[in-house]
Amino acid sequence: MNRRHFIMSSAVLAAGARTGSLAASRRKVRDIGIQLYTVRNEMLADPTGTLKKLAAIGFKELESARSEKGNYYGLAPKEIRKITRDLGMTLRSGHVHVDNDWQRSLEEATETGQQYIISAVLPSQGQTVDHYKQSAEAFNKLGEECKKTGLHFGYHNHDSEFETVDGTVLYDILLKYTDPSLVTMEMDLGWVVAAGHDPFHYFSVYPGRFPLWHLKDMDKIRKQSTEFGQGQVDIKGLLEHAKQSGMRYFFLEQEEYTHSAFESIRIDYDYLSKLDL
């Protein structure tokens, strides 16, 4: 091989190596989850059929939400456990109410085999620092109770937690006074952005505190969820900071739709599937 051919061959090999390195460094979004409230009407009408449709789209992780038919849309705990496993999905978490049915909810969650049980409301109303301190204390006790059963207790935010009282963001009170080993913070990223706050700030100041996410895009003007890529939430950037946040599982959630629920979540799923991180 003469010198000219050697140089050309070396350049081609080097370019190929760089391309291969870039391709290897890109990551696709895997194990996409969904909060079943996204398809709440469909779940109430036909839970088994709806779960089959979700599996066919490609969803792997599920989070349930309490409905007028109970915590699992009319399915018994063992039923939803079997259906989801047969479909290659995992019921990972569930939203319940901390009320008179709490003990029953704990027993049902244990039967399903899920890991997390989540409250999306505070123990009582009141936008005060003292109330949030009391809520944090109550959550720690619930966390201890759940730990004995092998479950992780958690709290899911909306936008009201990001109001400022006496110079303090109320959500920060929960972070300060809850024990991370007892209380999982499920951050609804869409509501954080809609409230005018920055999820990246929380990832930086409280790294590792957010094992669960609700991933949604939001129209900040209307304060409504929308299809991924249509709102003001930096979906790609958030996923690139998943490790910093401590995220283990995320659940796609859309509460309002431009199309039907299934048309909208197909748009969302395709958007996530095409991302390079």
pLDDT reported for residue 17? 52
**Residue 13 pLDDT > 90:** no
pLDDT reported for residue 19? 46
**Residue 276 pLDDT > 70:** yes
Average pLDDT of the segment spanning 40-58: 98
pLDDT reported for residue 9? 53
pLDDT reported for residue 222? 87
Average pLDDT of the segment spanning 148-157: 98
55 Cβ neighbours under 8 A, 6+ residues apart: 87, 88, 89
Q: Could you give the domains of the chain? A: 28-273 (3.20.20.150)
pLDDT reported for residue 110? 97
pTM check: above 0.75: yes
194 Cβ neighbours under 8 A, 6+ residues apart: 159, 218, 220, 223
> For residues 14 and 261, which has the higher predicted lDDT (pLDDT)?
261
Task: Give the separation between CA 173 and CA 118, rounded to whole angstroms.
Answer: 18
